[in-house]
Amino acid sequence: MVNDDVVQPFQLESSSLRGRLVRLGPVLDDILGAHDYPLIVSKLVAETTTLALLLSSMLKYEGVFTLQMSSDGPVTMVVADVTTQGHVRACATFSEERLLALKKKEPSFEQLVGKGYLAFTVDQGENTERYQGIVSLEGESLLESIEHYFAQSEQIGTGLKMAIGMPPNNKKSGWRAGAIMLQHLPEHGEHLDKADRKTIDFKEDSQDMEEDWQRANILLETCTAEEFLSPSLDGNNLLMRLFHEEGVRVFTPLAIQKKCRCSLERSESVILALSEEELRNAAKEDKMIHMTCEFCSQTYDFALDKILKKKEKLS
């Protein structure tokens, strides 16, 4: 049974609540291992990646879901995106000078990001309308900002809990993450598509829905960081430990993979869009243009003379 790098959908039978459990291990290590970020920046990337997986798993879409934080603080951007197939990637931009100026080993969330916003984007490709939601950064964490978003813009009750496990003794590997989201569904599920209505049973005339919701969230709050992050505790066993009195039904899990969508062809198309002056300025002493993907750190090399000839031919 898969313990790590999975999104596990589930339902609480007694209360018609649906949820998602995210468990990350090696995939998170691979994402962060591609970069040489300070630990505190890596932690923000880990949080963003986990939350992107959690949020995207509650949506019906074919394409790419993106969660992006932008701010005026030392960490200016963190972004993670997830495809329908479970391919995830993430990166960050930050000012090393401003981070060092904080002179704190563990600065607060506010000190790291200052003022800014979170953007949720669903891109389903050409000829489709992109959906985007934006919320200001609030509270003392990314999680609190997302809770603020749901409180402001959603009519569906949403409960969240997350834990991030940083590597011991300042090591680069050993990252882990776990999170659970619960959603309080309206009666009859009018907002759901037909597929969901087939798999979720609804309480028809329940007068206890609010009581069910409160009880489920109290149980969720009992989950410890150790339980979220333990590689020896299976995800389904964790759900049973938390919600056994509610009755847990699990559905087919989604395996998560680190996979970037960059390529030589895509990088070349970006370079060809530059002017001749920009290309010459970008070229190094060896007359090569080196383009590095911010997500996976893969570097693509292009000879200046070949690019100029191709650009002239295309024009």
Q: Tell me the pTM.
A: 0.88
Identify the structural domains of the chain with CATH numbers, from first to last. 6-258 (3.55.30.10), 264-314 (3.90.1280.10)
Please list the residues that pair with 11 across neighbouring strands: 18, 249
Query: pLDDT tens for residues 46-92?
Result: 999 999 999 999 888 899 999 999 999 999 999 999 999 999 999 99
pLDDT attached to residue 94? 97
Pairing verdict, β 87-94 and 75-83:
antiparallel
Query: pLDDT tens for residues 242-263?
Result: 999 899 999 999 999 999 999 9
Q: What is the dihedral of CA 196, 10, 65, 94, to 10 degrees?
A: 160
For the chain, the average pLDDT equals: 88
How many CB atoms are closer than 10 A to CB 176? Answer: 23
Q: Is the pLDDT of residue 208 over 80?
A: no
State how far the Cα of 261 lies from the Cα of 263, in Å rounded to an integer: 7
Pairing verdict, β 257-258 and 87-94:
parallel
Comparing CA positions, the residue from 50, 296, 297, 26 lying closest to residue 174 is: 26
pLDDT attached to residue 205? 44
Q: To the nearest whole percent, how much of the chain has pLDDT over 90? A: 68
Tokens at 63, concatenated: 């394409």
φ and ψ of 74, to 5 deg: -60, -35
In the structure, what pLDDT confidence band is assigned to residue 2 with cuts at 50, 70 and 90? low
pLDDT attached to residue 207? 52
Tokens at 286, concatenated: 């060896």
